[in-house]
Structures are given as C-alpha cells and as structure tokens.
C-alpha cells in the first residue's frame, strides 16, 4: 500500500478533503482486504484495525492502517476515538412518496386483523389528494430520518398514485432525493378499474402505455407487486418487459404474502433483485442462485405484520446474494431504520452480525447494481457511518439504540 499525503484542497465543498483517523475497526467490504484467519462471514467485511480513511472531492482516495498514512493536512479532520466505522447503509427498497398514515390499520392488525394488499388503496387516496409540496416534505422527512440512522443511499418507488399524473409526479419528487427511482405503477390495480370487465388487463394496458411513457424519463427501475390480490405472472411479465423496452431495469416484489410466481418471473427477466422472498420453495431458491438475482429481504415487513421471517440461512447456503432493506412504507413496514433491520436479521433470522452488515451495505449495492457504494476503497463514494460503538456487532447487539454518531455522505459530514 502506497503512503499518501492527505493534503487538503481548500475551497468548495465538492473539492474539499476529509481525513478520519482513530478508527478502531474499519469495515471496508473490500474483497482485497480479506484477512486469511477470519471466518468467511467476517473475512468478507475486509476489516482494518487502527485505520484511517481519506476522502477527496466526495470519493475515497485512501484506506489503510493509520500508521501508513503520511501527512495530516486536510480541510476537515475527524478523530473517531476508537469507534467502528462502516460503509453508509444502502436501503434498496423504500416507498417514501405518499401522504397520510395507516396507524389505525396498524392498531387493528395488532388486535388480529390480517395484513392485506388492499390497504395500499387507503394511501393511494391520500396521495392523490395531496399537493406536490406535501409529498415532497414527507419524502424529505423520511430521507432525513434515514440519513440520521446511517443510510446514505436509498431507492424510492412510486406506487401510491396509480394514475399517469400521480405516478409521474411521485417519481419527480423521488428524483429530487435519489438517482435510484423506481416506477411501481403496478402496485395494485387502481380503484377506478375494479368495476371493469377485466380490471387487471385494462390497468396493465394503462401502466404499460401512457403511464410508462410519462414515467420512464423519471425512473431507473421498473417494479411490480407480483402477488395474489395484485398482479399474476403474466401481468408482471408484461409490466416488466414493457419497462425494460423503455430502458428501465427490472426488480420485483415477490413471494411476500404467500407462495407464488414472483421469484420465477424475476429470474426469467433477469431482474436485479427479488424483494421480500418470504415464501420460497426449492425451485425458487435455485432460480435465484442460477440467475444471479439478489434476494432483498425486508424484515421490517414481517415484524410489523407479525409474519414468519424469510429463511436467510437457506438462501445463503444456496449461494444467493442477500440484501437487507427497510421497505419503509405507511402500511406494512413504517420503519426507516437499517440498524433495526440488521438487528432483526441477526436476532430473528439467524444471520451473523457480519452477514447482516454486509447485506445492508454491499448487498444493497448489488441489489441496485452499483459498484461505487457499499464499499470503502479508493474510487468509492465517501459514504460512511462512525458508530457510537467499538464494533459493528453492536448494531445487532444493541437493538433500537441510535448508534450513528456521525454520518458522512459524499465526503461531507451530513449528521
């Protein structure tokens, strides 16, 4: 490893430099930094002890042991005082553009009323009635809430508008906060179609026609809720193929509420990710592994709907890449907390703390087909979290505790 001089570059924030020293444990997720004596899950984290990181113009330019770092000049210096530093969390599944809440539905559920896809329509009505300013401020509040907890990249879906205008304005708002925007016009069949002779066919024609025309310029991804009560395999294929023809990359809400064809459709179209994956059979697990589809698990949804958790161990044993995300939405999972999802993955789903952290960072990056995030190595974005803890294990060991002491995004201290 070369010695570098971390001299500063005073001036604009974009050109400024940041040096973090005093890092007790640095999680890099860099495959080049696997320590030979670590068990495989820990080795994958590429841990460096007594480390330092240098970020210039928003990008990591140097990572290594503090003793290797030459020179001290930088616009900003932070002493982590022995803390653990991890890559910023990558939340690859969130529904943040909506209005209203469903606290009453949640309270009823806690008395035994089951969760059903139809609750989405309550939020659709509130979202349609809200002006852009309201949608923007709700989204901004949730993105800020996420950032405070260490999330430096979030994917944001439409899906609570379900008209051409409401879906496209939802995506315009989403695009103000992230480049990872997802067109989810096929969340459920819009309420005004339910009286039609063939509601699904008629609504899919809208989603794949005029609505896609208006939304494609504002989205990177296309998604569909492939589930009983939402869209079947044929409808899901039609939506994904139409989006792909317009340059959108596919991802799928799959096998959440029961067994179904979602995962197979995701594998068939080469989706980046199949999300939820709660009810899988052996063929589904094999399809994910063979097609290289990331399984993005959303334990906040199982927690908040009192459902069985997905079998992460089975997926990992089959060689499937697992990501963790919040699914933040007002119905099934109104949490913005990646640390909570890590804790659930470890405590309830039997992932190791190292596996869960990798899945919440590098795994999320794979789910979004990004190589510049979820890793701390030269060239990566300067996105990281200084924990109020000496080890990443505390993220699961101390559930519910706010452990993000400082959050750096693009080399700027954001929190």
CB closer to Fe ion, 331 vs 353: 331
| Binder of ligand NIG out of 119, 161, 299, 363 (CB under 6 A) | 119
Residue 377, Cα to own-chain centre: how many angstroms?
A: 20
Shortest CB 49 distance to Fe ion, Å: 38
User: By CB under 5 A, which span of 146-154, 259-267, 327-335, 351-359 interacts with Fe ion?
Assistant: 327-335
Among ligand NIG, Fe ion, none, residue 225 binds (CB under 5-8 Å by kind): ligand NIG
How many residues touch ligand NIG under the rule CB under 6 A: the total is: 14
CB closer to ligand NIG, 27 vs 143: 143
Among Fe ion, ligand NIG, none, residue 272 binds (CB under 5-8 Å by kind): none
245 Cβ neighbours under 8 A, 6+ residues apart: none
Q: What is the CA radius of gyration of the chain?
A: 21
CB closer to Fe ion, 227 vs 327: 327
Backbone angles phi, psi at 178, to 5 degrees: -160, 155
- Residues numbered 71 to 110 that lie near Fe ion (CB under 5 A) are none
Alpha helices in 182-260 (DSSP H): 199-206, 212-215, 233-245
412-413 and 404-409 as β-strands: parallel, antiparallel, unpaired?
A: antiparallel
Shortest CB 1 distance to ligand NIG, Å: 43
User: By CB under 6 A, which span of 19-27, 117-125, 131-139, 402-410 interacts with ligand NIG?
Assistant: 117-125
| Binder of ligand NIG out of 127, 138, 256, 367 (CB under 6 A) | 256
User: By CB under 6 A, which span of 24-32, 323-331, 369-377, 399-407 interacts with ligand NIG?
Assistant: 323-331
Among Fe ion, ligand NIG, none, residue 87 binds (CB under 5-8 Å by kind): none
CA nearest neighbour of 85 among 357, 336, 410:
357
CB closer to Fe ion, 18 vs 143: 143
| Binder of ligand NIG out of 146, 301, 389, 396 (CB under 6 A) | 301
Q: Is 327 in the site for Fe ion (CB under 5 A)?
A: yes
- For 174, the enclosing helix (H) or strand (E) is helix 164-175
Q: Dig out the tokens for 59 from the structure.
A: 């990008």
Residue 303 to residue 206: CA distance in whole angstroms = 34
Shortest CB 253 distance to Fe ion, Å: 5
- Residues numbered 354 to 413 that lie near ligand NIG (CB under 6 A) are none
CB closer to ligand NIG, 334 vs 397: 334
Among Fe ion, ligand NIG, none, residue 352 binds (CB under 5-8 Å by kind): none
Q: Is 302 in the site for Fe ion (CB under 5 A)?
A: no
DSSP string, 277-342: --S--HHHHHHHHHHT-EEEE-HHHHHHHT-PPP-HHHHHHTT--EEE---BBTTTB----HHHHH
330 Cβ neighbours under 8 A, 6+ residues apart: 95, 98, 100, 101, 102, 123
- Measured CA to CA in angstroms, residue 87 lies from 46, 121, 131, 268, 358 at distances of 11, 36, 36, 32, 9
DSSP string, 89-109: EEE--B-----S--HHHHHHH
- Beta-carbon count within 10 A of 160 CB: 31
- For 152, the enclosing helix (H) or strand (E) is strand 151-154
By CB atoms closer than 10 A (0-12, 13-18, 19+), residue 151 is buried
Shortest CB 208 distance to Fe ion, Å: 20
- Beta-carbon count within 10 A of 318 CB: 15
Site string for ligand NIG, 195-234 (x = CB under 6 A): ------------------------------x---------
CB closer to ligand NIG, 40 vs 259: 259
| Binder of ligand NIG out of 120, 214, 271, 360 (CB under 6 A) | 120
Shortest CB 225 distance to ligand NIG, Å: 5
Q: Is 300 in the site for ligand NIG (CB under 6 A)?
A: no
CB 94 within 8 A of CB 326: yes
Give the footprint of ligand NIG on this chain (CB under 6 A). Answer: 95, 119-120, 123, 225, 253, 256, 301, 327, 329-333
Interface residues toward Fe ion, by CB under 5 A: 327
């Amino acid at each position: 490893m070369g010695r570098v001089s971390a001299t500063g570059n005073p001036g604009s924030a974009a050109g400024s430099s940041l040096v973090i020293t005093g890092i007790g444990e640095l999680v890099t997720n860099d495959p080049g930094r696997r320590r030979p004596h670590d068990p495989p899950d820990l080795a994958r984290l590429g841990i460096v002890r007594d480390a330092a990181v240098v970020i210039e113009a928003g990008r990591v330019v140097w990572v290594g042991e503090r003793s290797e770092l030459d020179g001290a000049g930088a616009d900003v210096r932070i002493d982590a005082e022995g803390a653990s530093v991890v890559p910023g969390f990558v939340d690859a599944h969130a529904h943040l553009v909506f209005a209203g809440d469903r606290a009453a539905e949640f309270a009823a559920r806690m008395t035994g009323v089951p969760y059903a896809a139809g609750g989405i329509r309550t939020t659709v009505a509130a979202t349609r009635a809200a002006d852009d300013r309201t949608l923007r401020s709700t989204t901004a509040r949730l993105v800020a809430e996420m950032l405070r907890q260490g999330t430096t990249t979030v994917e944001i879906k439409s899906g609570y508008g379900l008209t051409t205008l409401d879906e496209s304005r939802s995506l315009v708002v989403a695009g103000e906060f992230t480049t990872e925007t997802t067109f989810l016009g096929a969340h459920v069949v819009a309420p005004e179609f339910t009286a039609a002779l063939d509601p699904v066919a008629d609504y899919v024609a809208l989603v794949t026609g005029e609505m896609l025309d208006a939304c494609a310029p504002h989205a990177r991804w296309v998604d569909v809720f492939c589930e009983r009560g939402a869209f079947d395999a044929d409808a899901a294929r039609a939506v994904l193929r139409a989006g792909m023809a317009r340059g959108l990359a596919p991802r799928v809400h799959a096998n959440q509420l029961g067994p179904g064809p979602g995962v197979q459709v995701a594998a068939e179209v080469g989706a980046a990710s199949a999300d939820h994956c709660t009810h899988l059979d052996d063929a589904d697990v094999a399809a994910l592994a063979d097609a290289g589809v990331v399984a993005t698990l959303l334990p906040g949804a199982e927690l908040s709907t009192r459902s069985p958790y997905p079998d992460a161990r089975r997926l990992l044993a089959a060689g499937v890449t697992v990501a963790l995300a919040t699914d933040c939405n007002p119905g099934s999972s109104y949490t913005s907390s990646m640390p909570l999802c890590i804790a659930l993955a470890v405590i309830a789903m039997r992932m190791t703390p190292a596996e869960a952290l990798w899945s919440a960072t590098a795994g999320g990056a794979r789910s979004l087909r990004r190589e510049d995030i979820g890793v701390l190595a030269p060239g990566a974005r300067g996105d990281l979290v200084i924990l109020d803890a000496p080890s990443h294990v505390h993220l699961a060991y101390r559930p519910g505790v706010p452990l993000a002491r400082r959050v750096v995004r693009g080399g700027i201290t954001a929190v």
